[in-house]
Amino acid sequence: MGKLSERLGLFMMLVLSGISVGAQQVVRIAINGSINPVVADYVKEGIAEAELKKASCLLINLNTPGGLLTSTRSIVGSMMKSKVPVVVYVTPEGAHAGSAGVFITLAAHVAAMAPGTNLGSAHPVSMNGGMDSIMGEKVTNDAAAFIRSIAEKRGRNIDWAEDAVRYSVSLAETEAVKKNVVNLVANNEKELLQAIHGQVITLENREVVLNTATATVEDVSMSWIQKILNYVSDPNIAYVLMLLGIYGLIFEFYNPGIGLPGVVGGISLILAFYAMNTLPINVAGLALIILAIVLFILELTTPTNGILSIGAVVSLALGSMMLIKPGTEFQWAKISLGVIIPSIIITAVFFLFILGYGLKAQRNKNASGVDTLLDETGEALSNIDPTGSVRIQGEIWKAESVAGPILKGAKIKVRQIKGLLLIIEPIISKPLPST
Nearest to 122, CA basis, from 155, 168, 91, 86: 168
16-222: CATH class: alpha beta
pLDDT confidence tier of residue 133, bands split at 50, 70 and 90: low
Please tell me which of 196-210, 231-245, 303-317, 403-417 the model is most confident about, judged by mean pLDDT.
Answer: 196-210
More confidently predicted of 218 and 142: 218
More confidently predicted of 39 and 7: 39
Q: Where are the beta strands (DSSP E) in 45-120?
A: 57-63, 86-90, 96-98, 110-113, 118-120
Please tell me which of 216-225, 295-304, 320-329 the model is most confident about, judged by mean pLDDT.
Answer: 216-225
Q: Is the pLDDT of residue 106 over 90?
A: yes
The reported pLDDT for the residue numbered 237 is: 85
- SS3 sequence of 1-55: CHHHHHHHHHHHHHHHHHHHHHHCEEEEEEEECCECHHHHHHHHHHHHHHHHCCC
Cis amide prior to 386 (ω within 30 degrees): yes
Residues 381 and 389 sit within 8 Å (Cβ to Cβ): yes
Question: What span, in angstroms and rounded, lies between the C-alpha atoms of 102 and 109?
Answer: 14
Question: What sign results for the dihedral spanned by CA atoms 261, 263, 267, 272?
Answer: positive
Our measurement of the distance from residue 74's CA atom to the centroid of its chain's CA atoms, rounded to an integer in Å, reads 21
The reported pLDDT for the residue numbered 13 is: 45
Q: How many CA atoms lie within 13 A of 45 on its CB side?
A: 15
Q: Which of 203-212, 222-231, 271-280 has the lowest mean pLDDT?
A: 271-280
Question: What span, in angstroms and rounded, lies between the C-alpha atoms of 321 and 271?
Answer: 20
Question: What span, in angstroms and rounded, lies between the C-alpha atoms of 279 and 277?
Answer: 6
Question: What span, in angstroms and rounded, lies between the C-alpha atoms of 157 and 122?
Answer: 15
CATH of domain 369-426: 2.40.50.140
- SS3 sequence of 307-353: HHHHHHHHHHHHHHHHCECCCCCCCCCCCCHHHHHHHHHHHHHHHHH
Residues 71 and 100 sit within 8 Å (Cβ to Cβ): yes
DSSP letters spanning 168-204: --EEEHHHHHHTTSSSEE-SSHHHHHHHTTT-EEEET
Digit-coded pLDDT (tens) for 137-152: 777 888 889 999 999 9
Catalytic residues: 99, 138
Our measurement of the distance from residue 57's CA atom to the centroid of its chain's CA atoms, rounded to an integer in Å, reads 32
- SS3 sequence of 209-264: ECCCCCCEEEECCCCHHHHHHHHHCCHHHHHHHHHHHHHHHHHHHHCCCCCHHHHH
Question: What sign results for the dihedral spanned by CA atoms 353, 359, 361, 364?
Answer: negative
Digit-coded pLDDT (tens) for 267-292: 888 888 887 776 767 788 888 888 88
- Delimiting residues of CATH 2.40.50.140 domain(s) in the chain: 369-426
Q: Which of 40-44, 92-96, 138-142 has the lowest mean pLDDT?
A: 138-142
Residues 182 and 173 sit within 8 Å (Cβ to Cβ): yes
Burial (0-12, 13-18, 19+ Cβ within 10 Å), 34: buried
More confidently predicted of 84 and 7: 84
Q: Is the pLDDT of residue 81 over 90?
A: yes
The reported pLDDT for the residue numbered 15 is: 44
User: Which run of H or E residues covers position 76?
Assistant: helix 69-80
More confidently predicted of 126 and 235: 235
- Max CA pair span of the chain: 147
Query: Cα separations (Å) of 48 from 76, 79, 203, 377?
Result: 14, 11, 15, 84
Q: Is the pLDDT of residue 319 over 90?
A: no
User: Which run of H or E residues covers position 395?
Assistant: strand 395-401
Question: What span, in angstroms and rounded, lies between the C-alpha atoms of 161 and 150?
Answer: 9
Nearest to 278, CA basis, from 343, 337, 333, 316: 333
